Amino acid sequence: MANSDGSTPDLATEFAQQDGLLYLNHAAVAPWPQRTQDAVTEFARQNVFIGARDYPRWLKVEQQLRERLAWLVGGVSSEEIALLKNTSEGLSVIAQGLEWQAGDQIIISDQEFPSNRIPWQALAKQGVEVIEVNLEGDNPEQDVIDAMGPRTRLVSLSAVQYGTGLLMDMAPIGAACRAQGTLFCVDAIQILGALPFSAEQAKADFVVADGHKWMLGPEGLALFYCRKAVQDKLTLRQHGWHMVANAGNYTTTDWQVANNARRFECGSPNMLGAHALEASLSLLEEEGMTHVAEALQDRIQRLIDGLRERGASLLSPVDRQRRAGIVTFTLPGETPADTFQRLRQAGVVCAERGGGVRFSPHFYTDYSVIDRALSLL
């Protein structure tokens, strides 16, 4: 909750959004903090006036980003962090990197975003079967575990479902996978930056997440965590100068693949995105994920209470142990599409997802934004 100099971040300054804007859409694309704009502006200024003269300094920013991402997923090694373009690419690296046999099974849920469905379904030509587990039971974790069998090669689940906001407990699923020798992949795009998360506690082999939602960063840059012990299980389908052990040696012909997660980065990095996301994550690290989660849950409770008062039907879990930063609802006598359009015209930035209208504030969202949005229902 404090800067390195002991001061507290000024959230009103960090998020000086347009007057009248009621932004409740962090589960889609988040606004940037002021420090992120500053970092991008300074990076652009350097490119204009001195070009890449200070590239070694840029590389330090990129390394700092890896270390912040390693912190965000529970303190893993930065050697297990790769920087990819998006979640879909990360999941595709896994799907196309593993050696499949006809009859292999992959388990996902029936609520996954297409990013965590299409890469697996695309393996059908190789005889791979995708099993979708219904999550509406009282114990969805056990339902996933019960669906596992001797042919299950991989389980890939979202930690938080994008439509309903259902928060899954990854630990028992990961433990079951590890005990059976099944690989476990977590799509963490709706949890990282919203709640504390530990790849090690979840016993995840892979964790993938874009930076443009709860991490408050730009589109075009994503975390790809690959546990050291399973990195060699993925056959590399893309090759280039950046993924070799000695990436600075441009003349060697006897090259070797990097012995860390950088092997999944085939070419030049997104240095602009790295400066932006590093700045955004610095705010989350200063605040601390425990504080971020508590502040976010207070705002989610405010939304739940206000929606109940207005007779809304909640499609999201209300139990604190089952929710993250998403509240999806419908109003009596009005279709979700009509509610969404009416709110949009009134200045509320939200989404139509999961069979209803989805609100997703963040830890910094002023309570007045929530109250004004509720008053429009």
3-state secondary structure at position 129 = strand
Dihedral sign of CA atoms 12, 18, 24, 26 in order? negative
What residue type is assigned to position 140 of the chain? P
User: Residues 69-127: pLDDT tens digits?
Assistant: 999 999 999 999 999 999 999 999 999 999 999 999 999 999 999 999 999 999 999 99
Name 147's Cβ contacts closer than 8 Å, sequence gap at least 6: 107, 131, 133
Contact criterion met (CB below 8 Å) for 286 and 305: no
Average the pLDDT over 127-141 and give the result.
97
CATH node for 11-32+288-375 = 3.90.1150.10
Residue 292, pLDDT > 70, answer yes
Residue pair 152/179 in contact (Cβ under 8 Å)? The answer is no
| Average pLDDT over every residue of 161-187 | 98
Do 55-285 and 11-32+288-375 have the same topology in CATH? Answer: no
Pairing mode of beta strands 105-109, 22-23? unpaired
* Rounded mean pLDDT, 157-179: 98
Decide if pLDDT at 4 tops 60.
Answer: no
**What is the fold, at CATH topology level, of the domain defined by 55-285?**
Aspartate Aminotransferase; domain 2 (3.40.640)
pLDDT at 43 over 90: yes
Domain boundary assignment for the chain: 11-32+288-375, 55-285
Polymer length in residues for the chain: 377
How far is it, in rounded angstroms, from Cα 279 to Cα 360? 22
CA nearest neighbour of 93 among 263, 247, 212: 263
Is the pLDDT at 251 greater than 60, yes or no? yes
Q: What is the pLDDT of residue 301?
A: 98
pLDDT band at 7 (very low <50, low <70, confident <90, very high): low
**149 has pLDDT over 90:** yes
Least confident segment among 1-5, 21-25, 122-126, 206-210: 1-5
Q: Please, what is the angle between helix 55-72 and helix 271-287, to 10°?
A: 40
242, 297 contact by CB (below 8 A): no
DSSP helix/strand/coil, 358: strand
Q: What are phi and psi of 191, to 5 degrees?
A: -125, -35
317-326: pLDDT as tens digits: 999 999 999 9
Mean residue pLDDT across the chain: 96
